[in-house]
Amino acid sequence: MKTAAIIAEYDPFHYGHKYLIDEVRKAGATHVLAVMSGSFTQRGDTAVFDKFTRAKTALENGVDLVIELPARYSLTSAAGFARGAVGIITALGCVDMLAFGSESGDLSALKEASGAIEYALHSDEFSNYIRGGLSYPAALQKAVLKFYTDDVAEVMSCPNNTLAIEYLNALDSFGSKTEPFTVRRRGAGHDSADSGEFISGSAIRKLIAEGKDYSAYAPAVSAPTADISRLERAILAALRGLSADDFSCIADCAGGLGDRLYKAVRHGTSLSGIYFMAKTKRYTLARIRRAVLCGALGIYKETSAQKSAYIRILGMNGRGREILSSANCALPVDTSLKALSRTSREAHRQAEDEARITDIYSLAFKEPLPCGVDFTSKPVIID
């Protein structure tokens, strides 16, 4: 038995994801689990389909076990996203391999870039670039170029490589025995509109929003779709209720972003207006979108920095049960959020937060769902 983990959003699941799963199995994995974002995603948006629909599609296409990545991690930076997911994987105590796609496809190059980043982050040059107004990614890349060759900086300029490097850093920080394994990304780039064998998730989401056929690129799903535009007034209302001090405590709002967002919210009458007013070359749009959602959903630095209090199963098949049977888990594991909420005080707080966030997400559908669906939804079981 060799268990591989994949950290994903499956927003939606597409054939590029299937390719990674197939390559992982070719590499010797007998069992595959996915740690998947729940209701909101790392780009600062609603997931196009609900978490259970996406879990079902993943199970029908090669995944054996789907575990939820709580919103306190899915709505943070690449480092927070990776650390939250790797923490869950490490807690399972049975994962042999962490598999991920990358533009590089070269594990040694990614490891070299990881070391370069660690060195550059502690340099005076990086601090000076940040103080000069550069964004975190731009300052980091410029600092790396001061000490390393162009090819090292080139590795960290690609989005999937950047996330891959954070996975490596997280594995190292946890002292994990899980071995990293990377597959070179094929097809269109991240967020690209290019077509080909595999197109980007953003291109597929666009086809879904336009009601067009996307079955050549992803398994067709017949389910309601969520749209953040339906949450706009609710998000604005929540943000207007926050104080300047509240904004400074929002996850990923360091470096003056909290102050800029507070001022933008006082003047903005739309999400796009707030994004525009808060945007500078120092803050990427994705970071601003995440910070806006974290503020509206009540996700603060303190909670996003904490380890998960439990492991929630969204779905599984027979091999998924075998993964759980082999686990030597350091955290409570269950399919029921209600049962997990009873395991500790911190688990109760985390479960209540997740259920509340899902209740807000449920308003993003054309036909809103009632409160409490996270406590009443059944896991996806495929025999």
Nearest to 57 by CA among 67, 66, 44, 46: 66
Check: CB of residue 106 under 8 Å from CB of residue 181: no
DSSP letter assigned to residue 362? G
DSSP character string of 113-161: HHHHHHHHHTSHHHHHHHHTT--HHHHHHHHHHHHS-HHHHHHTTSHHH
For 307, phi then psi, to 5°, come to: -75, 150
Closest CA to 33 of 107, 98, 102, 105: 98
Spatial distance between the Cα atoms of 75 and 204, rounded to a whole number of angstroms: 21
Distances (CA, A) of 119 to 113, 169, 248, 254, 287: 10, 13, 28, 21, 24
Q: Which domains does the chain have, with CATH numbers?
A: 3-103+160-226+307-381 (3.40.50.620), 108-155 (no CATH), 228-303 (no CATH)
What is this structure's pTM?
A: 0.92
Given a contact cutoff of 8 angstroms between Cβ atoms, the answer to whether 101 and 321 are in contact is no
> Residue 222, exposed/middle/buried by CB under 10 A (0-12, 13-18, 19+)?
exposed
In the predicted model, residues of the chain with pLDDT beneath 50 are: 189, 191-193
Dist CA 325 CA 3 (whole Å)? 12
Q: Measure the CA–CA gap between 1 and 3, rounded to whole angstroms.
A: 6
Return left, alpha or beta for 133; rule: phi > 0 is left, psi -120 to 50 is alpha, else beta: left
Tokens of 272: 């796009």
Residue 325: predicted pLDDT: 96
pLDDT digits (tens, 9 = 90+) for 114-133: 888 888 888 999 889 888 88
Residue whose pair of structure tokens reads 């336009």 in the numeric block: 210
Helix axis angle, 107-121 to 124-131, nearest 10°: 70
**Euclidean distance between CA atoms 59 and 32, whole angstroms:** 10
Report the distance separating Cα 277 and Cα 296, nearest Å.
Answer: 17
